[in-house]
Amino acid sequence: MGETFGLHLMLDGYGCDRSKLADAGFIRSFLDEFPEDIGMTKLMSPYVSRYEDADRKRWGLSGFVLIAESHVSIHTFPEEGSISVDVFSCRAFDVEAAERTIIEQFGIKRIERNILDRGVEYPRDFKLAREIVSIERQHCELRVAEA
């Protein structure tokens, strides 16, 4: 993760177990257990909702769980056998282990994986951040006074 604020794993899976993608209880259970599996702290019970487009041709389930370190979200498309999963955390985590768990749980056959370092400029030193904000506020006050 280096000097960034957080790591964002984005996993798109294809050829998934369609019955799991269509099962709101399974999605809820996965989101309930997965944060602990990757060493995160769940802050709320997972929320899962069904979505259908206006033509009722495409539907799926979307799920979300808030963790102290950020969030985990899932969007499934059962008819297509695909899933999109995002794991964003300001705490380092084992990306390969998280990916293996997701692949195994949903029976994913093919994946696209993207990993982003988030918050490259986010200050890790809060005392320094407070000083910077104070200086910027003083600068803004001076500009307003001069205007």
User: What is the set of active-site residues?
Assistant: 70, 75, 90
Residue 103: how many other CB atoms lie within 10 Å: 17
Query: What residues contact residue 111 under an 8 Å CB cut-off, 6+ apart?
Result: 11, 12, 13, 14, 99, 103
Query: What residues contact residue 116 under an 8 Å CB cut-off, 6+ apart?
Result: 7, 8, 10
Let me know how many helices (H) and strands (E) the chain has, helices first.
4, 6
H helices present in the chain, as ranges: 18-21, 24-37, 95-106, 126-146
H helices present in 16-118, as ranges: 18-21, 24-37, 95-106
Alpha carbon distance, N-terminus to C-terminus of the chain = 43
